[in-house]
Amino acid sequence: MTQDVEMKEVPAPSNSTASSSPSTSTEIASLIETGACAREVRRIVRAVRLTMALRRKLKAQVLSAFLNFALTPGSEPHNRLASYLPKAKACSSASVARLKNLNRRTVDVLASRLYFYYSLSYELTGDLAEIRGNLLALHRIATLRHDELGQETLLNLLLRNYLHYNLYDQAEKLRSKAPRFEAHSNQQFCRYLFYLGKIRTIQLEYTDAKESLLQAARKAPVAALGFRVQCNKWAIIVRLLLGEIPERTVFMQKGMENALRPYFELTNAVRIGDLELFKSVAEKFSTTFSSDRTHNLIVRLRHNVIRTGLRNISISYSRISLADVAKKLRLDSANPVTDAESIVEGNT
């Protein structure tokens, strides 16, 4: 459904993106048509892969040109689809409504992409909660039809929907009761591992969370840089919560240095047990941590920082007063000596 350029008698748009891929548009239309007629799913899969490579380059002008190529101008399908061009939510909603009445295996691949864009259009407009019920209904339909790719996609969209609103218990309840089957899409499997890792982190199951997050990062396509960055951010926090210090090479991965810089500085503060530096880093990058939804996890790290600082003090001093302990830990509470005493007792 996402395609690139003008075709045949349609005048070529002036930009290079549109003029560079008429053959791709022709191939996509041909693959979908022949795949549907011959009931060959592999052709539909190839068509979808071609559209994924072009979706970021699409504009209304290019999509209009593609419709003029693929459909007869003035026909009812052409007019209906053309009216949806500036309205992503309306178009995706209408497409999903129609899918409920189609039960063909050649449609499953296209349906999975439509489900994704359906959810994305509502997420970008801040209305994601509106479609949760419909996504649940679609998941039930996909299960009854044995559409496993649809089940994978819809399960991930539902998990994303719940996590978007911090409904971790509901997400885990759905995940645990969803039908089990072999993964059909590596991308969907990676997304599932990422969401599972986030759920396990919130549930304090750090060891399982670490495994899921690192596996998601390893299995993700090289081109999915943004996704791999998010996996690494959460994995770094989880490792710190486990008392581990990630290797420096984690922060130096190609294309990730700048994105992981806040987490590198945070790791350094935890490593040396400097509570004041930890607070400074948390405040300095508070916007980034809030955007990544790791802020609440970073609050949990405060105890790890204090524990590391206390360990360093115990190594350096055989005898030291509680007042000096509080001073070296840089405790800023109302009664730092009492707090230092509680911390020392809790770690002995």
Q: Where are the domains of the chain?
A: 64-182, 204-316, 320-347
CA 148: distance to chain centroid? 20
Cβ burial 165-179 (10 Å sphere, 16+ → b, else e): eebbebbbebbeebe
Pull the structure tokens for residue 315. Answer: 């190594």
**Residue 341 pLDDT:** 53
From residue 132, how far is each of 97, 138, 305 by CA, in Å? 14, 10, 40
Tens-digit pLDDT string for the chain (348 aa): 433 333 333 333 334 333 435 457 677 777 777 777 777 777 777 777 777 766 667 677 777 777 787 788 888 888 888 877 778 888 889 889 888 888 777 788 888 989 998 999 999 888 999 999 999 999 999 999 888 899 999 999 999 999 999 999 999 999 999 887 777 788 999 999 999 999 999 999 999 999 999 999 999 998 899 999 999 999 999 999 999 999 999 999 999 999 999 999 999 999 888 888 989 999 999 999 999 999 999 999 988 887 776 666 555 554 565 666 566 566 666 566 565 556 555 555
**Residue 81 pLDDT:** 80
330 backbone dihedrals φ, ψ, rounded to 5°: 60, 45
**Residue 294 pLDDT:** 94
Helix axes 261-272, 225-241, angle to 10 degrees: 10
**Residue 316 pLDDT:** 52
**Residue 67 pLDDT:** 79
CA 13: distance to chain centroid? 34
- Nearest Cα to 228, choosing from 250, 201, 261, 205? 250
**Residue 275 pLDDT:** 84
- DSSP classification of residue 6: -
**Residue 330 pLDDT:** 62
Amino acid at 268: N
> Distance between CA 196 and CA 194 in Å, rounded?
5
**Residue 342 pLDDT:** 60
Query: What DSSP string runs through 174-243?
Result: HHHHSPP---S-HHHHHHHHHHHHHHHHHTT-HHHHHHHHHHHHHHS-TT-HHHHHHHHHHHHHHHHHTT
**Residue 343 pLDDT:** 58
Pull the structure tokens for residue 257. Answer: 């240095």
